[in-house]
Structure 1
């Protein structure tokens, strides 16, 4: 039973879902800008913004996870997050290297300090070189760009799909949390059938998939929407 105080609190899962959708769209747009860019002086700035967007899609998923109480919902979203991290390894460290350039460019960033503890022979110069964000191509045709940061290589061509799939996974876990069990397989099926927009915006038999308290007006997180189709 929810108290009056609980009713006045913002819904963390709904807010997380709305922000995940927004940042996943930012990922899609930035990935396209990276592909359209010409030369390293343009590729890297666009890639920097892509890393920020990817990190915030993941942050939104973590926000949703921390708001959930139902074990089945938490389990399926935890699994989805693990798959996201496997598809795009190192985005947290990569974003940190971009955001905290004042530390990483000097070899004293958080990940670099951890590396120095395990290998004290490493110099700050070596660590700065190791964690410099580098743009490159995985193929001679230059169709599959990637970023190298520290020990991680992030495939830019996989970014948009991984981000939008995670949004659909958040939606499915939220449905499970609400009492309507929705499997990860169902989320993936809808994702692959309708890659152009996330599952919770589809209208399939049951009507609106959007959280009920975001149906109109202002969402829990303060984002104004004219209709249920806009987060």
Structure 2
């Protein structure tokens, strides 16, 4: 093992991991649902590939709920506005309403060793406590099946309509992404304030209409700096170098979207190119 400290960890930005995982599991759900509508794949060696994919679809749908759970934890830890994660909670409720029994279907698949004997948690446990025989309880929550003619997945009393499930999954993944934007937007506001303070400390003005240096908020939530090289007939080289130096003092740097590896931001500013600000140690 290396003694070097890791430079990155998913724990640094769990809100972004929630978005990434939700997109992966959504794509898994989309792919499996499409394969389920095709003819059985002969490579499945005597087993129905449709039934195999249907099982995977249930797991993928459940994993979207895990991504939502991670997003909720991340938003609360960051102190994001309560309204953001309250809306995400409503999105989860809409998803669960569209997929009644998704948790129990997933549990039955993942814990088949218990559900096959009638000793699973949730509904099986309640039925046993109500006095029902284990073998009857096991039978009531068994029989996983995808019906191509109906485009539905069933397990015991639970039914999922595949098309409705895909719509719900797409909506939840989008809601997880939208919740993450609240984090990006807050960090953008904080970064802009840091940039303005660093420039002000170096005597660089950027807040007035006539200032040569422009600080802008992009649609990509990045902070962009540019020089209005046509604003005045003067040499802007000292200003561009002053800007780069002032940001460096605050552990900030300017990067080019066209050439991220460029090592001469002052020169690029002089050409009129807009450059975006990142912390010096940030991933590019």
Q: TM-score, normalised by structure 2?
A: 0.56
The structure showing larger relative contact order (alpha-carbon pairs under 8 Å, at least 6 residues apart) is 1
**What is the CA-CA distance between 1:21 and the residue it aligns to?**
0.2
Structure 1 residues 209 and 154: CA distance shift in structure 2, 3 A: farther
Residues 26-68 of structure 1, C-alpha deviations (whole Å, 9 max, x = no match): 0000111222244984332221111111111111111101111
The C-alpha deviation readout for 1:89-134, integer Å capped at 9, x for no partner, is 11111011011111111111112113222x21x1111111111143
Q: When you count helix as a share of all residues, which structure comes out higher?
A: 1
Q: Corresponding residue for 1:134?
A: 144
The 8 Å contact of residues 106 and 125 in structure 1, kept in 2 or not, is answered as yes
Structure number with greater Rg is 2
Q: 2: CA distance between counterparts of 1:47 and 1:106?
A: 23
- Structure 2: runs of 5+ lacking an equivalent: 1-7, 41-45, 187-217, 223-256, 261-283
Give 5+ residue unaligned stretches, structure 1.
Answer: 1-6, 181-205, 217-227
Q: Is the 8 A contact 1:133 1:147 kept in 2?
A: no
Q: Match of 1:18? A: 20
Query: How far is the alpha carbon of 1:207 from its aligned partner?
Result: 4.1
**Residue in 2 that maps onto 1:161:** 167
Indicate the RMSD between aligned Cα atoms, in angstroms: 2.9
Which structure 2 residues correspond to residues 175-186 of structure 1 after superposition, within 5 A? 175-179=181-185
5 Å-filtered alignment, 1:213-228, equals none
Output the TM-score relative to the length of structure 1.
0.67
Q: Which residue of 2 aligns with 1:91?
A: 102
C-alpha distance in structure 2 between counterparts of 1:99 and 1:37, whole Å: 26
Match of 1:125 among 135, 138, 148: 135
